[in-house]
Structure 1
Amino acid sequence: MQTHLVVPARLAEAVLGKRGAEARRIAATVGCQLQVRAPCDDREADQRVIIVGTSSQCTVVQEVLFGRLAEALRAHGQPLAADRAALLLFIRAEAAGVVVGKQGFVLRQIGQQSGASIELLREEVKRLRPCIITGTWQNVLRAERHVFDLVSAVPVALPAPRRPWRRHEPGRGPKVPLPRTRVSAAPAAGVVVSWRGQFGWVQPCEPIDHHQANAHQGLLYLHCKDFVGGAPVAGQRVRYQVYSDSNGLGAEECFAE
């Protein structure tokens, strides 16, 4: 699951640490991924915190950051508005129907049971749909847990296999590999989340700073030719170098830990 929080610029360092270092440390302790971004790299702008992990991991990090925000506001002489909180979730497109329910029944039930206002937008971004939850902080967390439970019951729809070779056209010679560009400076760690004979997908353990990083739901493409020592299996921890091509990011020189 992916959740987004916004921290006011004037409180960012107190809540997130210098350049988000404390927030990333908290996330690493819990075992999830966290990124801190400012629009156009403007340090004076509000900071967007992106948390990616399981429902329990995201909830723990959110509650810790919320507590730090409350302390920072009190230090500035501004009590926290307990009746006003907003959270942005990104829900997998294939799970949206389960969250909405027939004629919006499930969505209304979540709102009634949690006491929060919940809206699932129709727009889809990279197979993810934005979901906005507003209300008191506790009600927002309660609604979020309902959504997490529903989404986690829906199997992940893996991206369609990429075409690692250019299409052969008559008179143009044999197929050739797509040109690659090495992205990583050192081997990175990840987990194989699926494997289908000749190819599979790897979930990086750390966020990748690259404009193609969010393609394919944040997964890295892995071909059997790029794996050393037999074939990997789902759930296996691996190390690899990251490359980019016109299809997105992939893993090469990959081997089991």
Structure 2
Amino acid sequence: MEAPGGLKMGILIPSNDAGRLIGKQGAGLRQVREMSQCNIKLGQDPDSQGNRRCDISGPTVEHIASAVHAVATRIFESGGEAQCKMFVAFPNEYVGAVIGKGAENLRRIREMTGANLQLMKDVMSDQGDRVGQLVGVQNQLGAAVRIALSVVGQASGNMPAAMPRANAFYGGGMGQQAMQPMQQMPMQPIQGMHQPMSMSPMGQPLPLTGVKRGSGDVNEMQVHMVIAPKYIGAILGKEGAQIKQITADTGCANVSVTRKEPGNLGDRRVVVLGGFEECANAQRSVYQLYFSAAQTAGEEVKDITIILMVPQHAAGAVIGKEGANLKQLREQLNLRVNLSREVVEGFRPCNLVGPLESILMAEKQIQDQVLQLPPPTSEDRSNGTKRFGEDEAMPGAFAEVERPMKRPRMMAGPAPGEGTTKLLVPSTSAGAIIGKSGSVLKQIRESCGASLEVLPQADTPHLQSDRLVTLRGPPNCREAALARVLQAAFDKDQMNTNLKLLVPGPTAGAVIGKQGSTLKAIRDQTGLSVQVEREEIHGDRLVSAQGALASVLGAASMILQAVENSSAGKQAAAAPMGMMGAPPPPGPPLQGDVWMPQA
């Protein structure tokens, strides 16, 4: 049943993709319902276009957007910049608000998410509502729907009400708002809402502890997720198993939970460090555990508090002229945003309160602003920075502050020609690639300068015996990282290394070459036979080869070079050298007889 006064929309899913949404024994649909608290109904029979309609209804815009994000996660491959196409259906009475005056709302969607929504004139679904085409990267489709329906939600009174600004200090309150229950069982809002900030026995505000000093990597983010104490156990798991699994699955540099602090009976925090994609995936995993535990306890979760650590030198850019940038985040994403004046370990804490997906959009915007700035000088890093424990007047309670992790510096910023490479590895070798608590992923990331992610098996149910590894960064960094991933995956049998690359469908011709010339050149130079599958997998073609690790890496370099040249609009060329003709960033030498690109 649709919630009284709620919102609704539909997604038209090709029949051959419906199985990924449903999942094994309906597990996928259950997951979408649990994550979004929406009513999700997938039609049994295809419509006249061969699509099965997924009807979504819920009490607020945030619920609908969360459901769309969850559906997109099920039916599209996550990660990367691949463009995903989703057909959506809006009730006719929504259409004017979705488009906006002079198509203003559609323009906002493009500017804020990079996604493109087009409502096709006179194209109706079998139910008579308006059909639109939404195209964008997978993790922005839910955000695009949130903006599309924002005006509809305001008109119907289904947007969250404005709340007081968050305090500059971490206050220990969840900032939850009650909403209409979606379950038959009675639900209670999370306890501890709208509490005053935590106070010390002397009546002074407790400052933020557990902040880790920056590693020097400008791409690294640090976020603190505020969690009610009674749910920390569900997130940690037995002997910390859950939090360790999140670290391993997402490839974050660190995921940890703050300790109980003397005099502070308020909430605990989950601290996440890594690149934006890694941090976003970790936050979603933590939120899902938190949501499930709260639902089991008969409580509702709507808004969450996340503290993003903004480098001190970037605070002005994040604030904007006369606070314009912060104001834009508040108005466009309907978040409570407050940037503290306090400097902690070289950061200024930025409190973000609202729905998780909106917060992730804000994090991305802030991170983009930080990356546009030149690296800070030593004077920028030290000016006005105060670390806990360095002020003799501070109480001894701050002795429990965790010391910073020591990590080597990575590349100073994004290099020209950045892109994504998709690699399939046997599921049985995923543990060797990830390493204990993500140690191998971390080593590869730091030594090669590429971002890595090993997707959970549940995210790629169509890959029965393989796990998907995504590599992001400049071409030579991705190539170096691919070599280390394959070495880890086939360390016990390097003579039978199995290469499986997913290349964008339009570039497969470049890999084959005119009359098979590129494949012949690869065979002549490496001794391997390379196969290019005809069938596409979500828009990609599988390119495979098998043989000794050294030969496989030579073939991989030539394949990736052909893809890179094709993507750049150049004539594909096969040559036994790195794609950019430059060596990868320095790192520990590979063991054994391994082919690497030469300068």
Please state which band the TM-score falls in when normalised by the shorter chain: 0.5 to 0.7
The reply on whether 1:6 has 2:226 as its aligned counterpart is yes
Query: Is the CA contact (8 Å cut-off) linking 1:26 and 1:61 kept in structure 2?
Result: yes
CA offset digits 1:71-97 (Å, max 9, x no partner): 1111112232x2x22111111011111
The reply on whether 1:35 has 2:35 as its aligned counterpart is no
In structure 1, what is the Cα distance between the partners aligned to 2:248 and 2:262? 23
In the TM superposition, what is the alpha-carbon distance from 1:20 to its structure 2 partner? 3.2
Give the 3 Å change call, closer, same or farther, for CA 235–21 of structure 1 in structure 2. Answer: farther
Give the aligned residue type for 1:144: E
The reply on whether 1:122 has 2:337 as its aligned counterpart is no
CA offset digits 1:52-109 (Å, max 9, x no partner): 11111111110111111111111112232x2x22111111011111111111111111
**Residue 193 of structure 1 aligns with which residue?**
410
Query: Is the CA contact (8 Å cut-off) linking 1:6 and 1:48 kept in structure 2?
Result: yes
Query: Is the CA contact (8 Å cut-off) linking 1:99 and 1:151 kept in structure 2?
Result: yes
**Residue 269 of structure 2 aligns with which residue?**
48
The reply on whether 1:64 has 2:281 as its aligned counterpart is no
TM-score by length of 1: 0.59
**Residue 356 of structure 2 aligns with which residue?**
137
In the TM superposition, what is the alpha-carbon distance from 1:154 to its structure 2 partner? 2.4
RMSD over equivalenced CA pairs, Å: 3.3
Structure holding more strand per residue = 1
Q: Secondary structure at the match of 1:156?
A: coil
Give the 3 Å change call, closer, same or farther, for CA 108–60 of structure 1 in structure 2. Answer: same
Q: Secondary structure at the match of 1:126?
A: coil
Q: Paired residue for 1:101, among 320, 323, 328?
A: 320
Q: Secondary structure at the match of 1:60?
A: helix
Q: Secondary structure at the match of 1:140?
A: helix
User: Identity percentage over the alignment?
Assistant: 28
**Residue 147 of structure 2 aligns with which residue?**
none
In structure 1, what is the Cα distance between the partners aligned to 2:239 and 2:321? 44
TM-score by length of 2: 0.27
**Residue 225 of structure 1 aligns with which residue?**
none
In structure 1, what is the Cα distance between the partners aligned to 2:284 and 2:350? 19
Query: Is the CA contact (8 Å cut-off) linking 2:226 and 2:267 kept in structure 1?
Result: yes
Query: Is the CA contact (8 Å cut-off) linking 1:191 and 1:236 kept in structure 2?
Result: no
In structure 1, what is the Cα distance between the partners aligned to 2:377 and 2:243? 30
Query: Is the CA contact (8 Å cut-off) linking 1:2 and 1:53 kept in structure 2?
Result: yes
**Residue 25 of structure 1 aligns with which residue?**
245
In the TM superposition, what is the alpha-carbon distance from 1:22 to its structure 2 partner? 1.4
Gaps of 5+ in 2: 1-220, 380-404, 413-441, 444-583, 590-599
In the TM superposition, what is the alpha-carbon distance from 1:192 to its structure 2 partner? 4.0
In structure 1, what is the Cα distance between the partners aligned to 2:357 and 2:409? 35
**Residue 147 of structure 1 aligns with which residue?**
366
Q: Secondary structure at the match of 1:193?
A: coil
In the TM superposition, what is the alpha-carbon distance from 1:150 to its structure 2 partner? 1.3
In structure 2, what is the Cα distance between the partners aligned to 1:46 and 1:116? 20
Query: Is the CA contact (8 Å cut-off) linking 2:307 and 2:352 kept in structure 1?
Result: yes
Higher RCO by CA contacts (8 Å cutoff, separation 6 or greater): 1
Runs of 4 or more above 6 Å deviation: none
In structure 2, what is the Cα distance between the partners aligned to 1:106 and 1:58? 22
Structure holding more helix per residue = 2
In structure 2, what is the Cα distance between the partners aligned to 1:191 and 1:236? 12
In structure 2, what is the Cα distance between the partners aligned to 1:14 and 1:54? 25
Gaps of 5+ in 1: 161-187, 196-204, 207-233, 240-257
* Residues paired across the two proteins, number: 175
